[in-house]
Each structure stands twice: as structure tokens, then as C-alpha cells.
Amino acid sequence: MGICRSIQYKKKDVKAFLGELNKGSLSAGTIRNQKAYLSSILSEAVEDEIIDSNPALMTGKLIKRKNDKEEICPFTWEEKTTFEDGIKEHYPRYYPLFLTDLRTGLRVGELIALQPGDLDFKGKFIEIRRSISISTTLEKGSSINALKRSG
């Protein structure tokens, strides 16, 4: 066996690393992923008896969520009425779809994936069983659209 240099990472080192990541423009999810990767690597080092314990475990809540979400501005009652009247007049075929959307708050993918069996008129509820999403990926200057179904 070769000689292995002992690595001495401590919780404070991991916390300092995460603190530096948190100062940048990375999202909270990206920072959590980085912590998970680091913890996984250090767990392997523990299994291989390179270090005694994993300092990335139980570091506490260090990742601050950035509050940069857009504020939700729902329709006023007057705007809702104007919207409904416009749909009735110009797109009567789609009125039930828009009415369902306005009254349930479903995501677009959930709304267009609804099937007759998802509606329970006696129980007065809609069961959300699936969603449809369209993802766009740019590859060599062209866009590729893929239809994804879940459920």
C-alpha cells in the first residue's frame, strides 16, 4: 500500500465553503446539490478509512433562499369578468377550459392533460392524475420540442 496523506476537514471548513457559495449568484438548489456531492465524496472517504467522520453531515441550515420570486398579481373581479366575457364572445369553444383554469388555479400542463374520468361532478372535485409539459432544448442552433407526459 502507498502512503496516503491524512485529510483533516472540519465542519467549519464545510460551513465556510457553503457560505462562500451562498454569497454568489447560485440558486439555493445548486448550492444544496454541491453540498450533497461534497457529502457523498466525504462519505466515501470515511468508508475507505481516509477520514474518521464526514464533516458535511449535519451542518445545519446554511443555505438561504433568495427571495427573488415574482409577486403574484391575480385578476381583480372586474378583470376576471372582462376576461370571461371576452372568451365567451371570441372563443366560445374554449370557454369551459378557461373557466376551469380561473376557478381551480391548475397549472397549464395539468389543465390540458385533464380527461373526462378526472372529473367527478357528483363529488364536485377534479382529480389531477397527470401533467403534460413541453421542454425546449437548443442544440447546435436548432430548437427541439419534446412532449413529456407524467402520470
pLDDT digits (tens, 9 = 90+) for 105-134: 899 889 999 999 999 999 999 999 999 887
What pLDDT sits at residue 27?
79
Residue 144 banded pLDDT, cuts 50, 70, 90: very low
pLDDT of residue 115: 92
Residue 94, pLDDT above cutoff 80: yes
C-alpha closest to that of 53 among 105, 8, 102, 99: 8
What is the radius of gyration, based on Cα positions, of the chain?
A: 25
Q: Which residue has the cell 433568495?
A: 66
Buried b (16+ CB within 10 A) or exposed e, 62-90: bbeeeeeeeeeeeeeeeeeeeeeeebeee
Domain boundaries, the chain: 9-65, 77-150
pTM score of the predicted model:
0.44
The more confident residue out of 21 and 117 is 117
